[in-house]
């Protein structure tokens, strides 16, 4: 982490939200199992999406922003990248709710990192990435929201 400079901010991810959603879907599926196999057939795949996020990231997942890069701490350990290694940024912004939907970051080593709306200060995190690498941003992004961050 020393190569990335001083720690500027930490953004924990609230994966408890995904865990709760997955459990509620499974419980609802089990309670409505009497309605037939169609409901169970839909409920299990729907529950796998949020539960897979919890399994990948863990309950202590977080993003650390440093002067010269970003670190992703997940259940399996941590990985870090410098700002120069950011290849592309695709930010999906929900203008109606004025919040980040998700930010997909691709790095020069081929790694793909997804920042969901459950990250604390997700818009600030995405804005920091965009401010560091505006040339990597996908076209069509409304620039005014992240310049305020």
The residue with greater pLDDT, 27 or 113, is 113
- What is residue 147's predicted lDDT score, i.e. its pLDDT? 44
- What is residue 148's predicted lDDT score, i.e. its pLDDT? 42
The residue with greater pLDDT, 23 or 107, is 107
Would you state the torsion angle of the CA atoms of residues 82, 104, 76, 5, taken in this order, to the nearest 10 degrees?
20
Q: How confident is the model at residue 109 (pLDDT cuts 50, 70, 90)?
A: very high
Q: How confident is the model at residue 53 (pLDDT cuts 50, 70, 90)?
A: low
Burial (0-12, 13-18, 19+ Cβ within 10 Å), 23:
middle
Q: How confident is the model at residue 149 (pLDDT cuts 50, 70, 90)?
A: very low
Angle in degrees, CA 126, 25, 52, rounded to 5: 45
- For the chain, what percent of residues have pLDDT higher than 70? 64
Whether the pLDDT of residue 143 is over 60: the answer is no
Q: Where are the beta strands (DSSP E) in the chain?
A: 7-12, 62-66, 69-74, 77-82, 86-94, 99-107, 112-116
- What is residue 35's predicted lDDT score, i.e. its pLDDT? 60
- Domain ranges for the chain, please list them: 2-12+60-147, 16-57
Q: What is the DSSP letter of 142?
A: -
CATH 2.30.29.30: does it fit domain 2-12+60-147? yes
The number of residues in the chain equals 149
Rama region for 36: left / alpha / beta (φ>0; ψ in -120 to 50; rest) = left
| pTM of the predicted structure, to 2 decimals | 0.69
């Amino acid at each position: 982490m020393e190569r990335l400079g001083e720690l500027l901010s930490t953004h924990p991810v609230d994966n408890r939200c995904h865990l709760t959603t997955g459990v509620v879907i499974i419980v609802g599926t089990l309670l409505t199992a009497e309605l037939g196999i169609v409901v169970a057939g839909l409920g299990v795949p729907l529950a796998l999406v949020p539960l897979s996020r919890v399994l990948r990231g863990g309950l202590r997942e977080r993003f650390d922003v440093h002067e010269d890069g970003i670190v992703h701490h997940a259940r399996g350990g941590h990985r870090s990248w410098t700002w120069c290694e950011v290849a592309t940024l695709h930010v999906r912004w929900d203008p109606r709710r004025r919040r980040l939907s998700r930010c997909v970051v691709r790095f020069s080593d081929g790694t793909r990192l997804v920042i969901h709306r459950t990250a604390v200060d997700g818009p600030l995190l995405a804005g920091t990435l965009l401010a560091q690498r505006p040339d990597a941003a996908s076209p069509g992004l409304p620039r005014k929201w992240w310049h305020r961050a």
